[in-house]
Structure formats: structure tokens, C-alpha cells
Amino acid sequence: MVTASTPADDGTVDGVAISRRLLLAAAVCVGIAVLAYLLMVRTALGQRFDNAALIGASQQDYTERVNDSFFIAHTIATAFFLSLAIVITLGIFRRRWRLGLSLGVVAVLAVLVTHALKVKVLTRPVLVATDNVVAAYNTYPSGHTATAIAAALVLVVACPSRFRGAVAVLAGAYAAVIAQDVQTAGWHRPSDAIGAAFVVFALVAVVAAAFARWRPISVGSQQTHAVAYPILAVAWLTSGFFSAYNAARALKVLRTTSDAVSVTPTLRNDAHQFSIALTVLIIASLLAALLGLLGAADLDAPRRRTATA
């Protein structure tokens, strides 16, 4: 007979507690995504900042912007489908096909949800004159950023716990590069990348919570976490410093001006640099949070077979 074996029985892992923490994190991320939309898209100050950062991107080195556009266009689809193939293959070979398939589905769903939110739900009212100059159509949240972050997060959840820290750093670095590049290339405003990150994390966390609650969990190793946490901490502290520094400079002027076009190129550059640093800060925070929430738990463990008389 096949029976479910939960490590919570011996006190090492409590699947219900992990599930609750993941659901709480998902709810917090949804709240932050909504708050970011209300503050950055539905207020005049938020739109001035968003637009100043977008215009500031056009002031960056032309070659860099072209290279960023080329990199996004030629890698994002390949990287996304490769990550799905890896996740599903891991699920099959590790006898966790439900987890692999579910994570593949939620990654695709995350991209579709962000697109639907952008096109149909989260409209962008014209509150400042700049929206008549730059992209006035709906751009929140960013589908490109959602694609990269979804790939990174599902890989972290699907891989064995002993490799999870390394995967978080490597896949997270790629996601951070894409989230920055879509802004530097002028494809998206900063709010778009920020919103996408939180929406995708919430969706992946809900699926992980379901498996933690309803499927067996095995206990693995956290050996690469000890390396990942310091790396993420350095990224967090560095980006936090630069985001605070540039935010203070940019927002001081944007609070008193009527239009992002009228501010100096230096201030628009400050807004852009703030958005880049803030994006890295958020992605590093989400990856560290996911590592902490999962810990050594290896989801969807194969059920143990026990002999019966």
C-alpha cells in the first residue's frame, strides 16, 4: 500500500506551516502590486516619476540601449521555454511530475495574467502632460519581466533543495538583467517591472503552498543557501543604497514640477537610476524570501511504500 509520509510527523518540516507562510507572502505581494499601481500609475506624482525614468532611459548610452533590446528580443523566449523544459524534466526524473507540470503551467499562467491585467484591467489614466509625449497606453505590469521572473522562481521551487540557493542566484541574476533591460531599452516604465515581479511571485507562491499543504514533503539540504544569502544581501544593500540616494534627488524636484519633461536631464537620469536600483532590490528580496519560506523542504516527495500483512 502507498501512504503519504509528511516530515512534519517527526518535527522536521511542517507542511501546513510552510503553506500558510507562502499564502501570507502571496497575499502581501498582491497587496504591494495593487499599492504600486495606485501610487505609481493612478497618481500624478507617480506618473511624473514613471515618465521621468522612462525619458531618462533614452539618455543612456545608445549602444547599450540597442544591445539591451537585442538581448531581450533574442533570449527571453528561448530562456523561458528552456526553463519550462528543465522544470518538467526535473519533475519527471525526480518522480515529482505533478510539481513539474504545475510549475510549468503557473509560469505560463503568470505571463498570461500579467498580459490580461495590462491590456484589460489596469488602465493608465492621463494625469500628467508627459503621457501625451511618451507611451500613453497601458504598460502595467510588464509581460517581459513576468516571463523572466516566472522562469527564475519556478526553477527555484522545482530544483532539489541543496541546489536551490545557487539556482536562485543564477536564475535571479538573469531575471534582474531582463527587468533592468526592459527599462533601459525604453520598453517599460519602472512600475511595470515592479508590478510584474510581485504578481508572479504571488502566483508561484500559491502553487507552492498547495503542494506544501496537500502533498508529501521530504527534507533536503540547504548547503548552497549559505552562499546565496550573502550574495543576495550584497545585492540588496548595494541597490538599496543607490535607490535611496537617487530617489531623494529625483523626488525632491518631481514633487514640485508639473511635468517630467520640464526637469533637467540630470534629474531624469536620477529617476532612471533609482528605478534600476529599486528593481534589483525587489528581485533580490523576493528570491531571499522564497529561499527562506521553502527552507530545506523538497515539495511533492514520492510517497513511501510500506509493507502490509
271/250 Cα distance (integer angstroms): 5
Q: Which residues pair with 2 in a beta bridge?
A: 305
Please report how the helices 225-254 and 44-57 are oriented relative to each other, as an axis angle in degrees rounded to 10: 110
Separation CA 143–CA 85 (nearest Å): 20
198: exposed, middle or buried (Cβ count in 10 Å: 0-12, 13-18, 19+): buried
The DSSP code for 129 is: G
Residue 55 binned pLDDT confidence (cut-offs 50, 70, 90): confident
C-alpha grid cell, residue 128: 500628467
pLDDT 10s digits, 131-165: 555 666 778 999 999 999 999 999 999 999 999 99
Distance CA 233, CA 45 (A): 30
**Nearest Cα to 57, choosing from 41, 69, 45?**
69
Is the per-residue pLDDT at 309 higher than 70?
no
Query: Coil, helix or strand for 299?
Result: strand
Does the pLDDT of residue 5 top 50, yes or no?
A: no
Helix/strand/coil for 298: strand
Kind plus residue range of the DSSP H or E element containing 200: helix 190-214
Tell me how far apart the alpha carbons of residues 213 and 159 are, in angstroms, rounded to a whole number.
19
**CA dist 208 → 107, 147, 190 (Å):** 12, 18, 28
Which segment of 7-11, 81-85, 196-200 scores lowest on mean pLDDT? 7-11
Instruction: Give residue-wise pLDDT tens across range 44-53.
Output: 888 888 888 8
d(CA 244, CA 239): 8
If one compares 269 and 88, the residue with the highest pLDDT of the two is 88
pLDDT of residue 255: 62
Greatest CA span in the chain, whole angstroms? 82
In degrees and rounded to multiples of 5, residue 140 shows phi and psi of: -105, 125
Query: Distance between CA atoms of 258 and 191, rounded to whole angstroms?
Result: 19
**Is the pTM of the predicted complex or chain greater than 0.75?**
yes
- Distance (Å, rounded) from C-alpha 215 to C-alpha 99? 10
